[in-house]
Every structure is written in C-alpha cells, then in structure tokens.
Amino acid sequence: MLLYIATITLLLGAVLALVVRGNSLRAWLAIASQAVASAAVLWAVVPVLLGAAPLTAVVPWPAPLGDVRLQIEALDAFFLCFSLPMTLLGSIYALGYLQPYMKGKRHVGAHFGLLNLTALSFLIIYTVENSFAFLLGWELAALAAWLLVIWDHENQKIRFAGFNYLVSTHISFLLLVAAFVIGGDQMHSTDLREIGGFLRQNSFLRDVTFVVLMTSFGLKSAFFPFHTWLPRAHSAAPAHVSALMSGVIHKAGIFGMLKFTALIDAPPAWMGWYVIGFSTLSAVMGVLYTASQRDIKRMLGYSSTENVGIAGLGIGLGYLGLTWHQPALVVIGFTGAILHVLNHALFKCLLFYAAGAVYRVAHTVDLERLGGLRRAMPQTTLFFLIGSLAIAALPPLNGFVSEFVIYSGLLGAAAPSPESRAVLIAVAALLAFVGAVSALAVTRVFGVAFLGVPRDPKCVAHGEAHPAMRLTMAVHVLGVLAVAAFPLAALGLAQAPVADLMRAQGLAPDAELLAGPARSYAPVAWACAGLLLTLTAVALLRRSLTRRHAVHRTWGCGYTAATARMQYTGASFASQFGNVFEGLLVFLRRLKLPRGPFPERGHISTHCVDGVENRMFQVLGTATDTVTRLAGRLPEDTPVSFAAGFVTLVVMVAFLLAGGAL
Amino acid sequence: MTGQTAALAAVHLLALLVLPIVMLGLVNRVKSIWAGRRGPRVLQPLADMRRLLRKQPVYSEVTTEVFRLGPTVALATGLVAGAVTPLLGPQSPLGFAYDFVVFAYVLALGRVFLMLAALDTGSAFEGMGAAREATYGAVIEPALFLLLGGLMLASGHADFAGLMAWTDFGAFGVGLRVLGFVVLMILLQIEAARIPVDDPMTHLELTMIHEVMILDHSGPDLAILQYAAGLKLTVCAALIAGLLNPVSWAAQPWLAGAVALAIILAVAVLVGTIESLIARLRMRAIPGYAGVAVIAGALALALAALRLGGSP
C-alpha cells in the first residue's frame, strides 16, 4: 500500500514540477514528493531488511505483461533503502548546483521531474518479479539518466557523451532482453521466478544465458572493458547526476548479479572464476586510469569501474563458496559485496558532490588549473578529504570495512586445492596494489586541487559552495562516519539479504554463520579504535610541543622567485607512475617546444585517453577498411568471389544443421 | 600466563619506543666505521631529537592544518603498525586473523598524510618527493601480500603471530625464507627510505624521496618525522627477524626474544653496510627494483602452492 502511495506521489511530483510556475516551486514540489515517497518506502521496507517476512502483492495487468507480481525481499529492501533517500539528497543538491538557472528563463522542472522518474525506476526494478516490468524499469532508468546527462545539451561534447551512454546502455538492455527471451521461451513465462527455474537447469544454453546476463550487468555497472561510456558521461553530466549514476543508478547492475545469483543453482566453478577474473581486471584497470586523469569527475568515473570490480570480487567469492559448499565463504563474499555497494554509494556521491561544488565555485574541474581551494572552501575541503580517505579504503573509514571482509575471503582457507588458494591470494595481492594506487590517485587529486596555492588566476574560488550543496555533502559524510563508527552494525545490515540469497540456494544459514564477517572484523574495529586513540594522544602531545610557531615562506631550496605556476602539477605527479605502466595507459601529448635563440611561446598538454575506446575505434576503422577493400575486389577477383560464396554457404549449412539439432 | 603476556606486551612497547632511536644511531655508527671515522654515539639521534623538540617550528604561510596533521598521523600509524607487528618473538599486543592487512593499510594511511603535507607547501620539490613516494609505495604493495600469502599456505596460519612461529627449516623452509628476506629487505629500503632506493644523507633535493617531502618541517615536527622513520625501519627489521628467527617461541620465549632483538640489530648493521658500499639507484631503476620484490613474492607463493599440491 505504502509503495503505491510512493509511486503515485512520485508521478504526481513529476507532473507538478512540469506544470506549476516558477522554478523554485517546481524544484521544491519534486523534492517534497520524493521526501514523501522515500519516507513511505523506508517505512514499508526497513522491517524487511531487519528480518521481517517479504512483502508481496500482485498487480493485475492486461496482456502482454500478464499479472505483475511484486515481491520485496531483504536484498530488494537493502537497495531501496539507500537508493531513494540518496536520490532525494541528489535533488536537494541540485537546488544549489542549478542555482544559476533557478532565476533564469530555463525550465528546471523537467530536470527535477526526471529525478523523480529515476526514483520511480528504482521502485520498479527492485520490486517487480515480472521480466517485462523489470525491463520497463530498466529502460526508464536509462532514459531518465540520459536526459539528465545532457542538461548542457548545447555543448556538442556533452551531446556526444550522452549518445555514447545511450548506445551502451541499450546494448546492455538488448542483452538483458535476449537473456529474458531465452529463459522465458524455455519456461513459457514472464515471471522472474519461473525464468530462475531455467537458470537452475544445467545446460549449455543456461551457461550462455549466464554470460549474456553478466555482460549486460557488466555494461550497466561499467565493468572493464565495458566502461568506455562512463568517463565521458560522468564528466559531461551535472555533478548530482554523475553522483546518482555512479553511486546509485548503476548499482542496479550489481543488484542484477546478486538477484540472479540466487536463481542459479550450485553454480559450476567456472562461473565464480569468470566473475573474479572480470572483477580483478576492472579493479586493476580502473584504478590505473584514475591515477592519471586531469578531470576530477573523469577520475571519479574510472574509480567507479574500480569499485564495482571490488564489489564483484565479493560476488565471485560468493559463487565459489556455493560451488565448494563453503557457507562461510558465501557469507563473506556476499556480505563484502553488499556492504561495498553501500559504502561506494556513500563516498562516491560525496566526492562527486564535492567536485560539483568545486566546479560551481572555481568554474573548472581541470586539475592543472586548480589549486589552493582550501582557503576559500574549508568545509568542502574537509568533505573531500574524508571521501578521499574512505575511497582509498584507508582505516578507520568505511571503505576499509568492506575491503577487509573481501580480503578475509580471498585469503581464507576455503579453497579446496592449494593452486586455487594461491590464485585467490594473488588476487588479494592485486587488490592491495589497487588500494595503493587508489591512495596515490586521491592524494594527487586532493593535494593538487585543494592544497598549495591557486595555479590559474581565472579559476580562483571565492567563498564556499551553496548551502544546499554543503548540506548534502555533510549528510553523506555522516553516512561514511556512521559506517566507520559502527562497522559491526553495518555488517549486520547485510545479514538479512545474505540469508535470503542463501535460502534461495537451499542452504539454511544460522545466526552464527551470518555473523562470521562481523566476528572477524571485531578485532579490526578494536585496532581502529586504538589507532584513533593513538592519533589523539600524538596530536595532543604535538600541540603541547608546538604552542608557539613562526610563519615564513615555503623553503624554495635556495630559489627565491618561485611562482604558483611552478608547483608540482597533476600531470607531473602522475608521470612517473604512468611511465611504469605506459603499456597499459594511453597518453595523448600535444606539444610545441620553444626552439632556437628567439623562441616563440611553446605549449604542452597531456591527456590520458581511454585505451579501450581508442582501440575500439581503431579496430572498427581497420575492419571497415578491410571490408571495403575486399568488397571492391569481389566483382573482378574470381578467387575472392568464390571464397566469399563458400563462406556464405558454410554459414547457411551450419544454421540449417543447428536448427535441425534443436 | 596472563602475567607473562602482560610482561611481554610491556617489553614489546618498551622495545618499540626505544628501538627506533637505537636503530638510527646504529646505522649511522656503522656507516662511520666503514668510512674510517669513530662516529657519533649510538644514542646520538636521541640528543638530536631533544634539541629539535625544544625549537620553535616555522610554518610556511601557504600551509594549512593538513600540514600539521602530517607528522601526527605518520607517528600514530607507525606506532599502531608497530603494535600489530611481532617484535621480539611471534607475539604482538594486537594480533588477530589477517592483521597484516591492517598493518599494510595503516602504513598506507601514514604515507598518504605525509604526501599531503608535502603537497600542502606548494613546493615543486616536495610535490616531486610525494609523487615518487606514491609510485614506489604502490609498486611494492603486492610483494608483501604475495610473500605473506605464501607463508600462510606453508604454515596454515593467517596472522603475523602464526606466520612468524612457522619453524620449518628444511630445504623448502630455507628457500621460502631466502625469498622472504629479499622481499622484506626491499620493502624496508622503500618504506624506511634507505639506500639503494633513497639516500637519507644526500644534499641535493632533486635526488631525494623521503627527505624532500619533509623539507618544510622543522622543530618538533621534524623530530617526530625522524622518529617515525626510525619506527618504520624497526618494524620492517622486526618482520625480517620474525621470518629468520630459528628459536622456537613456544619452548624458550625469552631466548627467542633475545635472538629476535639480535637479528633486528643485525639488520641495522646490514643497512649501514649496504649504505657504505653501494650507490643509490637511478630513480628510473627503482620501479624495476621493486619489481624484483614482487617477483620474489610471487615465487614464494608459487613455491608454497607447488609444495602443498605435490605432497598432500
């Protein structure tokens, strides 16, 4: 009942945002409707998350949908619980971010209405059990996100980024349709539960469907190498849209993986290794790209690829646990993945909001032009610092909690053979590398943009960001700190969803098993408390030693005419690291060096472009050239014509035979 | 038993507080002897730090509170890492399953704040040092995990205490320990900024890593950072001691502790000797040098996996 109220309120809010007069009224109406909807949804689903029975309902609907079954289990409840309130926070942030347009002629109601529709799409995706309705929700989220991305559609680059995203998300959509069609065709049903029955059968077609599903969710969540749309979309979109896309909307991919995990019965070992392989690749490649971006939002986009990789590692561990009949590993893997999703939503949104605040105040997010933001915006600086430390998984903040759980799964003794244990340990070593590089990346961004002195007089910040933006960031910081302060309670939040996933697999988890991750984290929590205590003690000691101090210029190593332009830049900070991994990263350098006795003005600019996108277009270009050349030779060159005809014949015969076999 | 545990914890903390100064002094003394001088007393670093503690610090006008946080976090993380690490025998006040993950990440936290403090000054030199520190720190990170993973496979334990109590000194055990020594020695040289990775005595800012990051720190802050560097040296040396210690902890705890202390001091002598005989590597060669540690770690892991797979 409450969910219907939420749905109607959201729709009503969207419509009202379009029709009433005055931009602020439109915005506030949308926000109010989202607040009501969020409250209603939380009221309804929090008990489910805490272990109450699932909510179910059936909405009768004419063909072709058929009756739409709604069911909210603990996993759905978990995703609903953070998705809707975070969308609401994003909308509040938009009040500040879109401030320059609020008084202008532009109609911002459409934008807020789309935010409402995004919230509605979560309500559909996380509740329905009908494949058609699920696809509708999926498509609604994709279209709303696309329209939100192209807010500044007058800029050609942003339109390009938008279309890039639209194409990618629809490939994901089509793959999902394909998987549902295969499953639905086999089981003659549109109900996801029934389609799940197909995923339980051990057949070749089931395996193909699994790969198709994983590719679709991988595209949605921007796993490497399906991430090419992401850095463009995230740097083009308004900050709150980037935040919601990265932290909330694309978590639907992870949700899909987890939901369909529950449907697959005793997955074979290759599925677990497949997911772990892809996730490791995503984490490593994603983090390598974060180290050398000059656009803060692009860097944060790549960091999403890294973080879904880390969450994916947890899911892969869960699969392997199912394969090896190790319930403890199943609990560790899924708990780590689920908590990491929440953690990522918290700190990634926070960082995107802070980047947006920087953009509004300093008019750029280009690292090479920023600097010394701390002086003008102390609060945003503090928020960004906390987000940075959290995203680099440094203790005692929240990122470390979920990563430690995943480490304990990777390093644990659950694997049946020493070889597989060694492989998992090697993955843990790669995760350690990911953590260290991520620390490098955030140090670079925070250090270059917020510390030091301004590099470009055109990009100097005067004053803090809009209060609505700061409020949103503060709420996210509170979330980050809450998980850090109560890690065991946060791990407890994942218990009910994990228990559901396990029960769907025919396992009967008891409370002791489910509390495994919390038990293994408890001493770490004490160590973190010890760290905080030591920090406080050292800080007090240091303060008593340095009561009096003098102020002078930075020591220039004997050079006294240093200027702001001589500070270490983001590019120079990353250059040595980039040199080590130059085989994997693609740098685009445009330079004109000054020459001769009377040099003209020179310039150099370095961009780290996406290697996959670069090569994808190269390969496409080469392929077109080859086809054109071959096609041109077809009429005149007899052997080529014969070869082409022969290939066509073989393909046709193969199709006929395959049709007969089925 | 609890009385003995408490006594050992007290000894651990005492050693943790005293050893950094002794280690730094010992390294300098060994270097002087190699150079043909008598050299300063072993406790000279203590006198230096006391002198610095009395001084009034000078802060750059550009710096913010992040700069002030740098030394605090560096020292606190060093102390916590030291509390997790077994120092004199395979026992530490804070030991639990996968404690080495916490060890690595706590040290990383200290590193991040040191780099941020360097970037806070707006000095190109200090930014350069921070970039180097970040790069080498990232490249060395997997080596420790690979090595400890191999030891985990071999010993069947998942915490420092269990790993360090592993007492197989057959051909396999010795082989694994040789690889482990290579990994930990390179780790020590990178973490504690010693030759051939970094030269703490160099006079040219362009060739420094750790020293250039702390150019602007003065007075008590500089003393804290010097102490923190000694702490890192001690902790890394303690890992080596735990790996090589042949005396069984369970049978003779006090003898094992004495042997561990001897090995830690021997590591300081070794560090001083290396610094006297070998030149610093070119900056460009350091990632390759860290790569040696990663390969040694991977070999240790592969060796352990093969051994376990071969003889069930």
Give me the residue spans of the domains in chain A.
267-507+516-536, 612-661
The shortest C-alpha distance from B141 to chain A (Å) reads 6
Interface of A with B in 521-550 (CB under 8 A): 523-524, 526-527, 530-531, 534-535, 537-539, 542, 545-546, 548-550
Condensed to tens digits (0 to 9), the pLDDT of residues A173-189 reads: 999 999 888 888 888 87
- Is a pLDDT exceeding 70 seen at residue A662? no
Please answer whether residues B280 and B196 qualify as being in contact, where contact means their C-beta atoms are separated by less than 8 angstroms.
yes
Collect all residues of chain A within an 8 Å Cβ-Cβ radius of residue B131. Answer: 444, 568, 572-577
Taking the C-alpha atoms of residue A492 and residue A486, their distance in angstroms, rounded to an integer, is: 10
* Burial of residue A163 (number of CB atoms within 10 Å: 0-12, 13-18, 19+): middle
Q: Would you call A439 and B111 a contact, using CB atoms and an 8 Å cutoff?
A: yes
Interface of A with B in 443-472 (CB under 8 A): 443-444, 446-448, 451-453
Is A478 part of the contact surface with chain B (CB cutoff 8 Å)?
A: no
Please identify which residue in the block is written with the tokens 């949605």: A220
Interface of A with B in 149-168 (CB under 8 A): none
Is A581 part of the contact surface with chain B (CB cutoff 8 Å)?
A: no
Q: Would you call A413 and B126 a contact, using CB atoms and an 8 Å cutoff?
A: no
Collect all residues of chain B within an 8 Å Cβ-Cβ radius of residue A577. Answer: 131, 134-135, 138
Is A376 part of the contact surface with chain B (CB cutoff 8 Å)?
A: no
The shortest C-alpha distance from A637 to chain B (Å) reads 53
Please answer whether residues A243 and A353 qualify as being in contact, where contact means their C-beta atoms are separated by less than 8 angstroms.
yes
The shortest C-alpha distance from A610 to chain B (Å) reads 21
Is A39 part of the contact surface with chain B (CB cutoff 8 Å)?
A: no
Average pLDDT on A401-418 reads 90
Secondary element (H or E) of residue A550: strand A550-552
Q: Which two tokens stand for residue B179?
A: 């690889």
Condensed to tens digits (0 to 9), the pLDDT of residues A98-154 reads: 888 888 888 888 888 899 999 999 988 998 888 888 898 999 999 999 999 988 888
Taking the C-alpha atoms of residue B87 and residue B64, their distance in angstroms, rounded to an integer, is: 36
Q: How confident is the model at residue B43 (pLDDT cuts 50, 70, 90)?
A: very high
Report the residue count for chain A.
Answer: 662
Q: What's the confidence (pLDDT) of residue A660?
A: 65
Q: How confident is the model at residue B312 (pLDDT cuts 50, 70, 90)?
A: very low
Q: Which two tokens stand for residue A180?
A: 């549902």
Q: Would you call A577 and B138 a contact, using CB atoms and an 8 Å cutoff?
A: yes
Q: What is the pTM of this model?
A: 0.93
Interface of A with B in 554-573 (CB under 8 A): 554-557, 562, 564, 566-568, 572-573
Taking the C-alpha atoms of residue B211 and residue B200, their distance in angstroms, rounded to an integer, is: 6
Ramachandran quadrant class, B193 (left: phi over 0; alpha: psi -120 to 50; beta: rest)? left
| Percentage of residues of chain A with pLDDT beyond 70 | 99
Condensed to tens digits (0 to 9), the pLDDT of residues A540-577 reads: 999 988 888 888 888 877 777 778 888 888 888 888 88
Q: Would you call B83 and A530 a contact, using CB atoms and an 8 Å cutoff?
A: yes
Condensed to tens digits (0 to 9), the pLDDT of residues B11-20 reads: 888 999 999 9
| Percentage of residues of chain A with pLDDT beyond 90 | 38
Q: What's the confidence (pLDDT) of residue A65?
A: 67
The shortest C-alpha distance from B295 to chain A (Å) reads 12
The per-residue DSSP string of B214-251 comes to TTT--THHHHHHHHHHHHHHHHHHHHHHHHH--S-TTT
- Is a pLDDT exceeding 60 seen at residue A452? yes
Please identify which residue in the block is written with the tokens 């197909």: A198
Nearest alpha-carbon partner for A549 in B58, B231, B142, B130: B58
The per-residue DSSP string of A196-234 comes to HHHHHS--HHHHHHHHHHHHHHHHHHT-TTS-THHHHHH
Identify the bridge partners of residue A589 per DSSP, sorted by sequence position.
A606
Best residue in B80, B114, B160, B308 to probe A by mutation, most A CBs within 10 Å? B80
The shortest C-alpha distance from A585 to chain B (Å) reads 15
Average pLDDT on B114-135 reads 91
The shortest C-alpha distance from A443 to chain B (Å) reads 6
Q: What's the confidence (pLDDT) of residue A64?
A: 67
Collect all residues of chain B within an 8 Å Cβ-Cβ radius of residue A419. Answer: 305, 309
Q: Which two tokens stand for residue A81?
A: 């619980």
Say which residues have a Cβ less than 8 Å from residue B295's Cβ, sequence separation at least 6: none
Condensed to tens digits (0 to 9), the pLDDT of residues A334-379 reads: 999 999 999 999 999 999 999 999 999 998 888 888 988 998 899 9
